[in-house]
Structure 1
């Protein structure tokens, strides 16, 4: 467990590259498997069953968010996070939390089902809530390894369980063709993740609670308290509101479109985000270097993300038809909106990582609260009037405003100037305009839908290829910048 921290200079750069490569490869395989599963299941399971599953996942997320205090982030951020004493305290907090959530949530399943007018949801929810017990039992040692950019075990645990859960879901989906296949696959995945975590990252829990570790964890989690719930509100409000206003079929179409639109964000959160916090944490005592690294990360996100959002907006209907089938083209408009939301969310996650790197997560709370309040005020009337388009637009509007204020606050924290941040957007906007124009031109050729969908990604891939070649030196410089601060993390 007590593996060496990455050394200074290029040593950390190599660690970042190795860790990122392992994480990217494992995540890509697992997420592509999930993508293929959705492609198959969308053609054999009715959309209303996906609508029910969307409510199930939202309910799980609600109860998790109510008690989330950021233990995993504390393990990564704290310099003592790898010690047995610290991990023991972290494990017990997660176990108590998971068991308590299940004990409270499971008996409430019938009430939730009645709220949505779906009696069949009761037993489904009761079974689904068991995932929180298995999540709480996971070994926190996997998070400690992330600080050292050692992602091999994390990939095997997360992606391995994901692949096994995906396989079971696919088999059960073919056999049963209902929501139970989706739920049991999710529960099985959580169980396998717990087992693998102790096989590959074992710890020895004891009843002895180290006071210093407890104080460190409590100090960090106190700053995190409430953030997860507010984040949940801004991430799942659309499902909760639409679940009451539209049919299960419409919700299912919307939920699957959102899943596809947020596929890049899922990859980002699994591959890039675990690297961002440790990299920025290396500069927690040097604001100038932290600011420069943050700006470089944001520039790369906008540069590659905005052209992708342009493709998703212009070719929404053909892409949904290609992936899920013709019925899902009805969700083209919200798909386009969520495509933009995805890119803005990536940029916002990097901004939040600055606060995590400085062990000041409470600085994010006011922006998340503002975003949640904006959604509470706007999402119901917009959803009532415009349906899924209104819901997705409310989410995007709240995120953009909160992001603007978040960036403005970084001026006080790390001396970030508005002009410097706006400069990170220029290249991405130009690339997005070019990709959008080329993709729109293809739409004028009156091609078959599937052909148009295939050709619509060509402009994006071409621009990405040029950008990757042009930005290769910038990526290397970012790695060197990370390596140069490694000594401060030792």
Structure 2
């Protein structure tokens, strides 16, 4: 649990800086500027995901506490991969720009192409941060890039008010993390390649490669469709809406995957202990994810007017749909670490492939007809059915639990969040304050008070058990 505290702090500060930066830059840049960066990052992420061999996950899952013998081979492969990706991205930049109908994306992508090489040069010893649950070191490593991104992006934006603020901030963050990796961990790599080690790592990593590839298409295939069918401005609106509406779910998912997987891996031979850890993780996840997602969906119109301004109002319905989707993804984030810890990452690949096929059948016609709102609705709808029921069935089978217990755990924060949402909707319809930002603060405060009261009633009157979980969590600080 102590590692979870550090992971939580890291992710909150990292994402908080990122969202604050976006909110500030949204007043200085245009949706099209964000869309140009989105095109470049979409292309970069595609190549990174499809070439991710999953060696870092294999090293974390390895039962041995010391994996030094693997690190030089791992580092050498990552450098070669970084060089290859950088070269390919620089060469195909004009083709990508032509595909999306945005010639301005060519130089942006060529500069972004530096980042795979920077990541490849990182100290491979950072794998120990997650393997040994040393998240205080992960905090230093991660925040070095976050602070650099914030400072560089704002400085360049003040000077140029152009997309280069976003681009240079992104590249600078990866450069800072590369340098920090050597400052924080004492391992010093040397170029080497051992065929047996590479083969051993690939045995586990091949499923991570498949999972990464499939989930890229699922999570960002809609971005590609929007960039292709609509415009850079539409893509900018869609991506910013996603980043804010899905932020709680994204952070929870990252914390769960970074902490739960290595922790569960140590319990892979003890199903009762794994089941207990799963339910504690689920409880902490949903008590945060439910109110955050319901709250975002309800206050989205007021939030966009207060933070971004009226030019960004077209993204309100997207935020509302994505908030619901984010809640479901946060719940799902508690399942995949169980499957990986039990040596079944193939579940993720197979489920993802099925979900991808169903989404691909509907997203293009729906986006043509309904724009960015249609794309968001398609992504949400496919996950609700048929994917989510299969997810639930597999996790119940994996930890040997029951559907009744799972639903009982989810019901408490669900009811409390719906009560909160109803009160906030009523206030939003009746309030008439002179400043929209003040109205937003009142809505958030009222929602928090209603949810907190409902949770307190459920805990004291219905014996929810949240207090014990939170006491364990706090005792680890």
TM-score computed with the length of structure 2 as normaliser = 0.91
The answer to whether the 8 Å contact 2:298/2:421 transfers is yes
2:467 paired residue among 434, 450, 472? 472
Match status 1:75 vs 2:70: no
- The counterpart of 2:232, out of the listed 241, 248, 255, is 248
Change (3 A) 1:479 1:352: farther
Q: SS at the partner of 2:188? A: coil
Structure of higher RCO (CA pairs closer than 8 Å, 6+ residues apart): 1
Q: Which range moved further: 109-118 or 419-428?
A: 419-428
Aligned-residue Cα RMSD (Å) equals: 2.2
Q: Deviations over 1:45-91 (max 9, x none)?
A: 11111111111111111111111122222222212364321222222
CA distance in 1, matches of 2:392, 2:64: 30
Aligned-partner Cα distance in 1 for 2:348–2:116: 25
- 1:425 equivalenced with 2:420 (yes/no): no
Aligned to 1:453: 440
Distance 2:174 2:340 in 1: 26
Q: What SS does the aligned partner of 2:343 have?
A: coil
**Residues 242 and 388 of structure 1 are in contact (CA less than 8 Å); yes or no, is this contact kept in structure 2?**
yes
1:432: Cα distance to partner?
A: 1.8
**Does the 8 Å contact 2:61/2:265 carry over to 1?**
yes
Q: 1:270 to 1:238 in 2, by over 3 A?
A: same
Q: Counterpart of 2:420?
A: 435
Q: In 2 relative to 1, CA 126–452 (structure 1 residues): closer, same or farther, beyond 3 Å? A: same
Equivalenced residue count is 465
Distance 1:129 1:466 in 2: 50
In structure 2, what is the equivalent of residue 134 of structure 1? Answer: 118
Structure 2 CA distance for aligned equivalents of residues 208 and 138 of structure 1: 15
* Cα contact 2:37–2:108 (8 A) shared by 1: no
Cα gap change, 1:478 to 1:199, in 2 (>3 Å): closer
The reply on whether 1:395 has 2:379 as its aligned counterpart is: yes
Q: Contact 1:237–1:375 at 8 Å: present in 2 too?
A: no
Shift in Å, 1:368: 0.7
1:95 aligns with 2:79: yes
Q: Which residue of 1 aligns with 2:33?
A: 49
Residue 393 (structure 2) aligns with: 408
Distance, in Å, in 2 between the alignment partners of 1:113 and 1:147 is 40
| Equivalent residue number for residue 64 of structure 1 | 48
Cα separation, 1, equivalents of 2:414 and 2:4: 27
Query: Of 246, 249, 273, which aligns to 1:262?
Result: 246
CA distance in 2: counterparts of 1:88 and 1:376, whole angstroms = 40
Task: Name the structure 2 match of 1:188.
Answer: 172
> 5+ residue gaps in structure 2?
460-465
Greater CA deviation, 214-223 or 333-342? 214-223
Structure 2 CA distance for aligned equivalents of residues 202 and 372 of structure 1: 42
Deviates further, 215-224 or 173-182: 215-224
Paired residue secondary structure (1:424): helix
- Of 201, 210, 219 in structure 1, the residue corresponding to residue 203 of structure 2 is 219
Distance 1:130 1:467, change over 3 A: farther
Residue 291 (structure 1) shift: 2.3
**In structure 2, which of residues 266, 271, 290 is the aligned counterpart of residue 306 of structure 1?**
290
Residue 254 of structure 1 and its aligned partner are, at CA, apart by 2.1
Asked whether the 8 Å contact 2:250–2:330 carries over to 1, the reply is no
- C-alpha distance in structure 2 between counterparts of 1:177 and 1:99, whole Å: 31
In structure 2, relative to structure 1, the CA distance for the partners of 1:119 and 1:312 (3 Å cut) is: same
1:366-395 CA distance string (max 9 Å, x none): 111111112211111111111111111111
- Which residues of structure 1 form unaligned runs of 5+? 1-15, 483-490
The change in CA–CA distance for 1:111 and 1:255 in structure 2 (over 3 A counts) is same
**Is the partner of 2:335 in helix, strand or coil?**
helix
Task: List per-residue Cα deviations over 1:317-343 (Å, max 9, x = no partner).
Answer: 101122222222221101001111112
Among candidates 99, 105, 124, match of residue 89 of structure 2:
105
Separation in 1, partners of 2:360, 2:290: 27
Runs (4+) of structure 1 exceeding 6 A deviation are: none
Q: Secondary structure at the match of 1:315?
A: helix
